[in-house]
Chains A and B, each alone.
Chain A
Amino acid sequence: MENAIETIQASRFNPKFRERVAGLVKNIDFTQCLACGMCTAGCPYSDIHENQDPRKFLRKVLLGMEEEVFADPYIWYCTMCERCTVECPMNINIAIIVRNLRGTWDRDKIPGYLQTIVREHIESGNQMNVSQVDYEETLEWIQEELQSELDDPDYTIPLNKKGAKYFYGFNARDIKYYPQELQTTLKIFYATGIDYTISTKRWDATNVALFTGKNDDFVEISMPIWEEFVNLGCEEFIVTECGHAFRSMKWGQRTFWKGEMFPIRHILELLNDLVKDGSLKLNPDAISEVVTYHDPCNTARKEGVWDVPRELARSFIKNFVDMNPGGRMNYCCGAGGGGMAMPEFNEKRKLKGKRKVDQVMATGAQIVIVPCHNCMDQMNDLNKWYPDTKGKSKNMHMCALMERALIMPEKE
């Protein structure tokens, strides 16, 4: 807690601290901060709960108040959504500072079970610690389900297909908890007839080290999936509807991948192209509800994907309404930055989420497209926490909604 009347002794400032932080964040000259207050106003949560003012946090860094900085709960409260400094006139990026400070933490002191997930991912190859047997059995189950659903007894999931055009990376939750979601996606792929593959070795595109700031963990988690992509000789890496997986793949590749760069795209970018070229046909009358779209920060603000999903949504949804703000200036759902895995701060994430709840309510939408597993969990929790809104809107992945409008090609 801040104590407004506590006197600060300049003699206690550590002038070397900012240099240390500068060494961590490398390309950002945060010393240029003018304390202008744009970030304070830009942060959706600075007036939601205490210790959530980016300007004050950065001031402590700049003054060299090392102890206070590390004691500041801001570091873990921040959802790293980057809204505060997206247009900082001094080119400062608070989220990068936060992430790098998190990266200095002792692994065993990292809040919640973030580090547990990281460890399990490193050990098992996926963040849900799904065993190889379970994984392959689940795929088999999905395959069987699809054979009957598609009325195609010869249907197989294209596994480990060398030279496939697309490599599909997804989230371990699809295997462990929501295999029907993966089934839906594969059904859509089937309908489009695209040439893709799923690896049985490395398939989880997520990376929770994005939130812990531990770069060595990050590389250990993601390097194998990139190598697997290269190994299979695919053309393009397609990432599922998961903001942090998409960000991990894109940013991680830019930052850590030493090999030849290969294209990485969001699944909604691919699907939109397929709609446009006619390979994916959707019934424009299938969805009659009012639908809105939530921009995951990692997908939209940080990786620039917000127009394409809307174009896709509008192509088959009659009553599409936009959230305000949206796109680049969207509000975080409240559980970014690993918030879902830090139960000790649940009260804060509940408070933060109210802003998103209000925003959704204002649209009057019955369905919210939430193209992110993490945002989905947070927004489902919000529906529970704010019972007045419960049942008024249903959170869905885009693919799940799309399935309702999907027109299967004529059998030959």
Chain B
Amino acid sequence: MSTEKIGAVMVVGAGIAGIQASLDLAESGYFVYLVESSPAIGGKMPMLDKTFPTNDCSMCILSPKLVECGRHLNISILTNSDIEEITGDPGNFTVKVRRSPRFVDEEKCTGCGSCAEKCPVKVKDEYNQNLGLRKAIYKQYAQAYPNAYTIDPGRCLNFKKPNSCGKCLEVCKTGAINHEMGEDVVELNVGAVVLSPGFETFNAGDLFYYGYGKFPNVVTSLEFERILSASGPFQGHMLRPRDKKEPKKIAWIQCVGSRNIREKHGYCSSVCCMYAIKEAVIAKEHSHEPLETTIFFMDMRTFGKGFEKYYDRAREELGVRFVRSRVYEVTQKDDESKNLIIRYANEDGAIITEEFDLVVLSVGLQPHRSVTELGRKLGLEMNQYGFADTVPLTGVSAGRPGFFVAGTFCGPKDIPETVMQASAAAGESSEFLSVSRGTLVRKKEYPGEKNVAGEDPRIGVFVCHCGVNIGSVVNVPGVVETARALPNVVYSGEYLYACSQDSQNTMRQIIDENRLNRVVVASCSPRTHKPLFQETMMESGLNRYLFEMANIRDQCSWVHQNEPENATLKAKDLVRMAVYKAALLDPIHQEAVSVTKAALVIGGGVSGMNSALSLAGQGYKVYLVEKSDQLGGNARRVKQGLRGEDVQSYLSELIEKVKSHPGILLFTGTEALDTKGFVGNFVTTLSNGEEIQHGVIIIAVGGAEYKPEEYLYGRNERVMTQLEIEEAIAAGDGRVTRADTVALIQCVGSREPARPYCSRVCCSKSVNLALKLKDKNPDARVFILYRDIRTYGYFEDLYSEARRKGVIFIRYSADQKPQVEEVDGKLKVTVTDHVLGQPLVIDADVLGLAAAILASPDCKKMNELLKVPMNTDGFFLEAHMKLRPVDFASEGIFMAGLAHGPKNIEENIAQARAAAGRAGAILAKSELESHGVVAVVQPDKCAACLTCVRLCPYGAPKVRNYAAEIAAVLCQGCGSCAGECPNKAIALQGYNDKMYMGMIKGLCKEVRQGGI
């Protein structure tokens, strides 16, 4: 048996989880084999139109990651590939991968698409959920990586009868197509395996009563995503698939294949409530006429961060109608319209029959059978639903050493949680293989930078259609023409997707051919796409700051979609300005700085300790700072996890591990007072006077339980919060354990105007407590008064168990809350029974309140100390809600645990480990480049007035020798100082006055010529 660990990891499944895990691992010093069974990476996310709760275009936020993953030097992508067998020992596995032939050589194919154009065979396009057609030779989607076509052997004529067609062979200029290509089995050596093979949607046809497959105007939610999508079968026009009419009244039916014991899908799919609301909101935006949208649901499960507000807004401002009723059946109207009839019961039992012209079935998530089989073959525990079971309180451990899991492989979850778990799996793998870090990675060498000083500007302008995002509104060829006529422009061209792999290749070629020394891209947001284009420039030997972007999507086609002519005029103006500015750009050279290979973790709760242990395990020094005298945080009060785990013994083991780990320096009773520096090089002064140096910071300052003012809390000792009840049960307090009647009220302090968010944990927690009470005293009458039961995922099984054990659930509405009075020493709780519609009086011995989870007051302190932002609820605000769920916008600073938002212990652990995974990717590097765009002072103009010193949020300027100096490494390039400097002594690189005057000149010159 070899004890050597291999510094490579295999990631199985290339959806967003696999991509994120691969990127994190590759950045952390491991070589990654990313194995994907389909012909392209991306998974399900490319199929989605927009994503909740930010309404970001799914493809737009994913695309940079696809490209980054696709071009990463340390990620080897194996498409059309499946795991055959894994042998060997943890740390040194041999994986046999079966590669099905693509019939197109990935290396030779340029993705030009001539083959598909000529291919005579039309096939239903699975990527478009069979709503559109593709050819027998095809690419999954426009932005697909690898940017290479693939042949569907089941449909290609040449496979049916050799030499019967061959049209593709005739047109392929690179000779990439080879019908003879055979299967291939490769053996790869890796140290760990991350499994993220994803999900499939429930087959809606299995519920015959909703008419899917029978009625043309019943579609699945994934089909509807394609209908909405600009890259979909109808180019983003919202149409009914059969008659191409625009619907006026759409119904969504929830829980199709979820919360259904009959279909052996007892679990909740966790994401459907939110995606249905999102689809309704986006559909309204798409519709040319007022669109009626109705969502039929049982419990509205908007439990994630920012979800409740999204639901509130959809309901109250955007007019999405919510009907609490599970639909019995969908029937089709007996006429030409093929409209659909839904007969449903209102909450009071009244029957309503309504006609809709489109019905969307919100299909649940399930594991693909092959995925369940793979898990079983690998010896993992697969649960009753076919998903992988994780080891309790690990977040990502598959129960077999060296195997980690991420994403929907282990249960339904949304994108942020998937990304979080992927980063955690990467962190765990990195910890597991830390001795071999850096042994198998390759380093990227860019060509030497061309010296463009003294050259006249030669500008290339690349205008993007962004599918139809831009092109359907803005006259792109017109913009290209305008750009071509501008001074210094030597090239101007249009691209369907400027960001796609083939466009990037073309861009490099054009830069070379035209000897470009400045590049302007007119496309989408620089926030998501600038780095991608800049990297292309570096690959062409150009300094990446010789680049300018015009956002003609967000600022033109999106906001002015009803005025295409004006949108085009504005796009031309923006391009003109960008070109005038580009002519004045200078190269900026960044300083490389070393990285202090140590981390500061603030907060010694479960999250902080998990982050600390993970980073220490990865081989980095960790300073763990806890302001109280003991470790453990809120978990000290929690006795049982939601899966029945013994939290206290977990906690004491965790504390023991932290205390005994040689890599962790523990500071209890200590606070961080002051932090200076930047990613890679922070210096923090602690309250004990010590000064520590570290490269990253993880903030895990926890949360707090709301002290209710409602329901006699604080005035009657039998009214308790959830945590108090839990403590009372643990302490054997007879008031609780021997109570005959217990009422638990949900949403106390949550989902209220003052706190318009869901505390996420409390429904499952109350169900858990109810079961515990039933366990102690089977004759106890336990009532749970709720607004929506939000036992998402497998917690639905707990809810089932509670109903089985006789816990009674009564729903109340926000405008008719339960009344609590003290009568004869008992608590009289009055609530209207939601089914019978009659007032119900419960004489409770104990009343439990599901008090909200609050952000810790320390979030505010951190906000002041580290300038990290908070949302309006007081929780930290991540860099991107979807794809950067543990990162702050400031590099090198990460968050974990309740400080980010309410979560259960398991989820906090996953997030803590994700933060450690992300932080580890920085610490793995020996040096980092400083932020490129920084402010510079012209000392002779500086009057040392101190304006900049007072203004700078990062403490970058200092006055020395009667003039300000700005430390480049501290400057974040925000430009506040440059704007405020009274004598214009400060300029922000790439944003100086001259450039802006140039932009205005470019704009106004044209205006003058236009005769205004």
Contacts and interface: CB of A to CB of B under 8 A. Distances in A.
Decide whether A and B assemble into one complex. yes
Contact of A89 (B259, B329, B347, B836): B259
Nearest to A3: B838
A10 B328 contact: no
A217 B243 CA distance: 58
B658 interface: no
A7 B804 contact: no
B890 interface: no
A88 B262 contact: yes
Given A59-B833, A90-B261, A329 B209 contact: yes
B573 interface: no
B593 interface: no
B884 interface: no
Interface in B318-343: 324-329, 331, 334, 343
Nearest to B799: A34
B569 interface: no
Nearest to B839: A7
Contact of B835 (A41, A55, A325): A55
Interface size class of B (residues with CB under 8 A): 35 or more
A35 B329 contact: no
B836 A32 contact: no
A42 interface: yes
A59 B835 contact: yes
Contacts of A46: 345, 349, 351
A42 B328 contact: yes
Contacts of A15: 779, 781, 806
B510 interface: no
Contacts of A311: none
Nearest to B258: A89
B716 interface: no
B837 interface: yes
Nearest to A33: B803
Contacts of A41: 325, 327-329, 343-345, 351
B382 to A, nearest CB: 23
B834 A87 contact: no
A36 B325 contact: yes
Interface in B856-898: none
Given A15-B779, A34-B259, A41-B344, A62 B808 contact: yes
B800 interface: yes
A111 B496 CA distance: 76
Interface string A29-73: 101111111111110001100000101100110110000000000
A8 B346 CA distance: 22
A33 B331 CA distance: 24
A5 interface: yes
A357 to B, nearest CB: 18
Nearest to B351: A47
A209 B781 CA distance: 37
Contacts, number: 120
Given A7-B839, A8-B840, A40 B351 contact: yes
A87 B209 contact: yes
B262 A37 contact: no
Interface string B227-243: 00000000000000000
Q: How large is the interface on A (under 10, 10 to 19, 20 to 34, 35 or more residues)?
A: 35 or more
B334 A324 contact: yes
Contacts of B218: none
Nearest to B334: A324
B263 interface: yes
B783 A90 contact: no
B95 interface: no
Given A7-B838, A34-B259, A47-B350, A40 B345 contact: yes
B298 interface: yes
B328 A89 contact: no
Given A32-B261, A90-B262, A5 B834 contact: no
Contacts of B836: 2, 8, 56, 59-60
Contacts of A180: none
Interface in A65-98: 87-91
A56 B833 CA distance: 10
A147 to B, nearest CB: 49
B638 interface: no
Interface string A202-235: 0000000000000000000000000000000000
A289 to B, nearest CB: 21
A164 to B, nearest CB: 39
Contacts of B835: 35, 55-56, 59
Contacts of B261: 32, 89-91
Given A41-B343, A90-B262, A10 B843 contact: yes
A32 B800 contact: yes
Contacts of B328: 37-39, 41-42, 87
B344 A91 contact: no
Nearest to A63: B808
Nearest to B263: A89
B804 A40 contact: no
B158 to A, nearest CB: 42
Contacts of A35: 834-835
A32 B840 contact: no
Contacts of A59: 833, 835-836
A329 B329 contact: yes
B841 A7 contact: yes
Contact of B803 (A6, A32, A37, A60): A32
Contacts of B262: 87-91
Contacts of A6: 838
A37 B262 CA distance: 16
A8 B259 contact: no
A35 B261 CA distance: 14
B1006 to A, nearest CB: 62
B842 interface: yes
Contacts of B326: 34, 36-38, 89
A400 B73 CA distance: 81
Contacts of B833: 8, 59, 63
Contacts of B838: 3-8
Nearest to A9: B841
B926 interface: no
B260 interface: yes
Residue among B262, B345, B350 facing the most chain A CB atoms (10 A cut-off)? B345
Nearest to B829: A10
B810 to A, nearest CB: 9
Contacts of B349: 37, 40, 46, 53, 55-56
A63 B779 CA distance: 14
B488 interface: no
A8 B841 CA distance: 6
Interface string B384-403: 00000000000000000000
B207 interface: yes
A258 B50 CA distance: 60
Interface in B47-93: none
Nearest to A86: B209
A160 to B, nearest CB: 45
Contact of A10 (B334, B741, B837): B741
Contacts of A329: 209, 329
A33 B209 CA distance: 19
Contacts of B843: 10-11
25 contacts: A4-B838, A7-B838, A8-B838, A8-B839, A8-B841, A10-B840, A10-B843, A15-B781, A29-B804, A32-B804, A34-B259, A34-B326, A37-B346, A37-B349, A40-B349, A41-B327, A41-B329, A41-B343, A41-B351, A59-B835, A63-B833, A89-B263, A89-B326, A324-B334, A329-B329
Interface of A: 2-11, 13, 15, 18, 29, 31-42, 46-47, 53, 55-56, 59-60, 62-63, 87-91, 324-325, 329
Interface of B: 207, 209, 255, 259-263, 298, 324-329, 331, 334, 343-347, 349-351, 741, 779, 781, 783, 800, 803-804, 806, 808, 833-843
Given A37-B349, A46-B345, 9 more contacts: A7-B839, A10-B840, A15-B806, A33-B803, A35-B835, A47-B350, A87-B328, A87-B329, A89-B260
